[in-house]
Chains A and B, each alone.
Chain A
Amino acid sequence: MTSRTLFLAACLFALGGCGGGSGGGGGASGGNAKPVKIVSSLPRTGSANAQTTTMVNGIRMAIDEAGGKVGELTIVYEDWDDASAKKGDWDPEVEAANADRAVKDANIMAYIGTYNSGAAKISMPVLNRAGLVMISPANTYMGLTKPGLGEPNEPDVYRPSGKINYFRVVPADDIQGRVAAEWIHSMGGKSAYVLDDRGLYGKGIADVFAATCEELGIGVLGREGIDPKAQEYRSLMTKVKQLDPDWVYFGGTTQSNAGQIAKDLIAVGLRSKFMVPDGCFEQAFIQAAGAENLNERAHVTFGGVPPEQLTGKGAEFVQRYREKYGKDPEAYAVYGYVAGQVALDAIARVGKKDREAIRAAVAQTHQADGALGTWQFDENGDTTMKIMSGNIVRDGEFKFVTILGQAAVGS
């Protein structure tokens, strides 16, 4: 028994070490008014945590660089969790509670989140009714903003007030699914088997991917949704093997079992290459699949440029991040940072606690030569930046291969 007690103590210690404190931000306030609050709602429990930790770090950096205040207003940041241990992933109940809590706190002027597109669907209408601005550093599902690309009632169903309060600083899946197919085409791929996790994000991106494949003359040999909680996929992979596609594409995330699919692809002796979207662009994916199973085989598209490929202000951000946290940022850290900047910038321009004015100010955002280059929000609340990158797994790390998506800019 003593060894188990020790063991538990060790675990608790380890958890405490990585959980970090959530009360880092707010210094003593100078003015007489209550400080302005910015909150984020990201999955902090479960395997997305490594990624979201660096996003939260990015948001903190943006606030610290502004000196914790804009003009006369002191800024306090709170890092909220929208995941539960029960799910090990984002939880609809928690996200709904977060949105409610944000609406009721009159000091909250910006809501940064979510990480998962499914979670955004829940909080968007709630925040929209309250006119609270929401800035996502990671959602890529098309239907959240783009009319005609999601369900028939999207995106209006998220905008009961008729105004746009939701903005995102990452390019959406219509672009990512497209560039994935274009990348395969440019590498000479002739056929693909398309799988998805039946989730909002995974299925959406796989649909665009499959449609673009057909447009480009890449044969889609099969299209299937998997059970993301299954133990293994050997039978499915055996079926795929009989068709011998050049590529297997999986629209899904690390949390929806991309690692196991990569493993079983090898286990049944498939020779196909493997491509996944940015939901797998995190170390947890390599950890889950085992580096040797992905080596030179797994290709990952990412709705932006990986940290080490950022230039100008972006490279400076990565440099400062390393100095501050002693670690390399994960892919989405810079989007957290930019989302933080967008919120601060809008609050600065308004200069007072006025949700409606801040919402309108965010819509007018125009970042020139920022960490992600020069861009603004379009009429749907999407970023005008459309550059993406293609990466490959080599020796247990993601290696940048190519810039993608210039061709998609005009379309």
Chain B
Amino acid sequence: METILQQLLIGLTNGMVFALIALGYTMVYGILELINFAHGDLFMLASFLALTLVGLLGLQSAGPATLVPALLLIVVVCAVFAAALNWTVDRLVYKPLRNAPKLAPLVSAIGVSFIFQNLGLFWGAIPLDVFGGGGAAAAPKAFPNLISNANLLGEESTLRITPKDIVVIASSLVVMAALYVFVRHSRLGKAMRATAQNPTAARLMGIDVDRVIGATFVIGGALAGFAAVIYGLYINTVNYQIGYQNGLFAFTAAVLGGIGNIPGAVLGGLVIGLVRAFSDQFIGAQWQPAVLFGMLILILVFRPSGLLGAHSREKV
């Protein structure tokens, strides 16, 4: 029983991170029908920024009094950085292709993804202590253990709940709830939903579609920036390839939940986190990708539009 609970907790916590990244994929897809392949690598760059800041602020040995405000600062800086970068990429790369065939921005997104990965390689070579002196740019880099990993139920308990788990789950829930309220009730959020439904009609109603698209990239980027800090704190490793791996899972989560659907992306992320955990426990680690993607195929066979996807999103 404890095992099940433990794996449930691990699955949910990992799933939260996938969900945060998946939101960026799904929001952009909902509005532009563009799969932004660079999104995972944007997340990776933000995680490098987070680690750089941790090093520059000397947080490895800081007490809680400095740690809490410093982490909040890092979250804000990383979110702003990723949001600004995402917005810039949209303006420079995707916007000129707005009226081009769908494949053109898609291929450009793959190009941006490669550019980001190589930027990550350069970044990893900066001679900082947290990067191991920068000698090996591609090597995995340890993200210091800033949040306690002690068991809140006592070290003797077989079930293990740590402050780290709580920080990840609680902060992610807050951010997702805020996003939901924003999209549901704010003016801009309503404009986003309207644009997603029908861009032409939205424009006719006086919605500035261009601004809505920009806002979508900003919000998606900010979520990736936030996810990057959470990932660093929880997983404790960053390297220039984490964008690809996490992006793959997050994209899968978005498809699983029904791409374009915001609650669907969160649900998809959690499902993937849980499937990974339980397949490691009961089937074996080497089968994890097979189980995960096998399940994805099954679900898409029976529900082609994903778990929460609308049945008819055909646009004529």
Contacts and interface: CB of A to CB of B under 8 A. Distances in A.
Interface of A: 7-8, 10-12, 14-15, 18, 45-50, 85, 88-89, 195, 198, 224-227, 229-236, 238-239, 242, 254, 257, 259-260, 263, 266-269, 283-284, 287-290, 292-293
Interface centre among B139, B151, B235 (most CB of A within 10 A): B139
A239 B4 CA distance: 10
A238 B7 contact: yes
A263 B160 contact: no
B136 A46 contact: yes
Please report whether the interface of chain A is mostly helix, strand, loop or mixed according to DSSP: helix
Nearest to B248: A229
Nearest to A45: B138
A269 B235 contact: no
Contacts of B139: 46-47, 50, 254, 284, 287-288
Contacts of B249: 231
Interface string B129-171: 0001011111111101100010100010000101000000000
B224 to A, nearest CB: 15
A83 B123 CA distance: 19
Interface centre among A89, A239, A292 (most CB of B within 10 A): A239
Contacts of A236: 280, 285
Contacts of B289: 227
B122 interface: yes
Contacts of B121: 85
B245 interface: yes
Interface string B234-277: 01110111100110010000000000000000000000000011
Given A7-B123, A14-B125, A235-B11, 17 more contacts: A8-B122, A12-B122, A15-B125, A47-B139, A198-B286, A234-B10, A235-B7, A235-B10, A239-B3, A260-B140, A284-B136, A288-B142, A289-B142, A290-B144, A290-B145, A290-B236, A292-B145
Contacts of A242: 3
A49 B3 contact: no
Interface in B177-220: none
Nearest to A257: B140
Contacts of B123: 7, 11
Nearest to A15: B125
Interface string B9-24: 0110010000000000
B6 interface: yes
Interface centre among A48, A235, A259, A290 (most CB of B within 10 A): A235
Contacts of A89: 138
5 contacts: A89-B138, A226-B286, A242-B3, A263-B236, A267-B162
Contact of B242 (A12, A48, A231, A238): A231
Given A227-B286, A235-B11, A288 B125 contact: no
B284 interface: yes
A238 B6 contact: yes
Contact of B142 (A11, A45, A257, A259): A259
Contacts of B135: 18, 49-50
Contact of A14 (B7, B134, B162): B134
Nearest to A16: B125
B127 interface: yes
A54 to B, nearest CB: 11
A224 B286 contact: yes
